[in-house]
Amino acid sequence: MARNEERYLLQALDFEGVLRACLYRYTRNNSDVEELLQETYARLLTAGSGKEPEVRSVRAFALTIARNVAFDWLRHKQVVPIELVADMEALDVLDEGEQVDEIVNGHQELAMLVKAIQDLPDRCRQVFTLRKVYGYSQKEIAARLQISENTVEQHLTKAARRCAQALFDQPIAERKATFFDRLRRRMRPPHAERE
């Protein structure tokens, strides 16, 4: 039976918010979370192509990897503030115990996407709409809106990043109030800038 090497990564995308919350505890800033999250995903991808037996809980596995990535990073920085260590000890126990039901139905997913797209600049939103709602090619969009194909590409690139953010990096509160939601609100201002 073929195993898709992307399987751990693909599953982890669905609780990216949890991974971000976990990483934020160690870094306390969003740009470092981005770095560590990407490294976590890379390691999940590598783990998926290995010969090791199948992981039972991808969630617990991904959180362990995230924590290892964070520890490596802290070690590399050679600075571990005392308060952080205390925090880690207090919180680590809770990760595996919290099995949060985060299944987002198609309706919510659609609503999240549309909201995210509505926040884009007008031109970018129009290009996205023509591409994804109406299925126009990039060339057709360029002709219709009288802009260059290069500009169309730039708009779509921005829209793609926004889609990933909307679908995976959801504040958990929007799905279901959970322990992590409360944790996250405590750890990070609700409108923290990212990107």
Partner 1 sequence: MPSASETTELAASWLIRLEGPATPELWEEFETWLEESPRHRAAFIRLRTAWNRADIVKLLRPTDGTIDSDLLGRLDIAAEAQPPAPVLRPNFARARQQQTPKRADTGSERRRWLVAAGLGCVAIAGALYGTLRTGGDDYETEIGGRQQIALSDGSHVDLNTDSELVVRLTATRRDLTLVRGEALFRVAHDTQRPFYVIAGGTVVRAVGTEFSVRIHDDNRVEVLVTEGRVAVGDPVSTVRPTLPPSASAVSAGERATDNRGHVSISKMPTTDMQRKLAWTTGWLLFQGDSLDEVVNEFNRYNRRHLLIADDAITHKPLGGNFHTTELDSFVDTLEHSFGVKALRAPDGSAIRLIASPDSPDGDSTPEPPESRARSTR
Judged by beta carbon, residue 28 or residue 43, the one nearer partner 1 is 43
What Rg value do the Cα atoms of the chain yield, rounded?
Answer: 19
Contact code string over 6-45 relative to partner 1, x by CB under 8 A: x--xx--x-----------------x--xx-xxx-xxxxx
Is residue 133 within the footprint of partner 1 (CB under 8 A)?
Answer: yes
Q: Which is nearer to partner 1, 55 or 113 (CB)?
A: 113
Single residue of 86, 164, 177, 192 touching partner 1 by CB under 8 A? 164
Task: Tell the smallest beta-carbon distance from residue 116 to partner 1 (Å).
Answer: 9
Is 92 near partner 1 (CB under 8 A)? no
The residue whose two tokens read 């050679």 is: 78
Does 84 interact with partner 1 (rule: CB under 8 A)? no
Token pair in block for residue 6: 């992307």
Query: Which residues have a Cβ under 8 Å from the Cβ of 89 and sit 6 or more positions away?
Result: none
Q: Does 91 bind partner 1 (CB under 8 A)?
A: no
Does position 110 interact with partner 1 (CB under 8 A)? The reply is: yes
- Residue by residue, DSSP assigns the chain as ----TTHHHHHHHTTHHHHHHHHHHHH-SHHHHHHHHHHHHHHHHHHHTS-SPPPS-HHHHHHHHHHHHHHHHHHHHT---HHHHHHHHHHHTHHHH-----PPPHHHHHHHHHHHHHTS-HHHHHHHIIIIIS---HHHHHHHHT--HHHHHHHHHHHHHHHHHHHHS--GGGT---HHHHHHHHHS-TT----
Closest distance of CB 129 from partner 1, Å: 5
Provide, rounded to whole angstroms, the least separation between the CB of residue 193 and partner 1.
12
Residue placing its CB nearer to partner 1 in the complex, 90 or 148 = 148
Residues of this chain that interact with partner 1 (CB under 8 A) are 1-6, 9-10, 13, 31, 34-35, 37-39, 41-46, 49, 105-107, 109-111, 113-115, 117-118, 122, 125-130, 132-135, 137-139, 144-145, 149, 153, 156-158, 160-161, 163-164, 166-168, 195
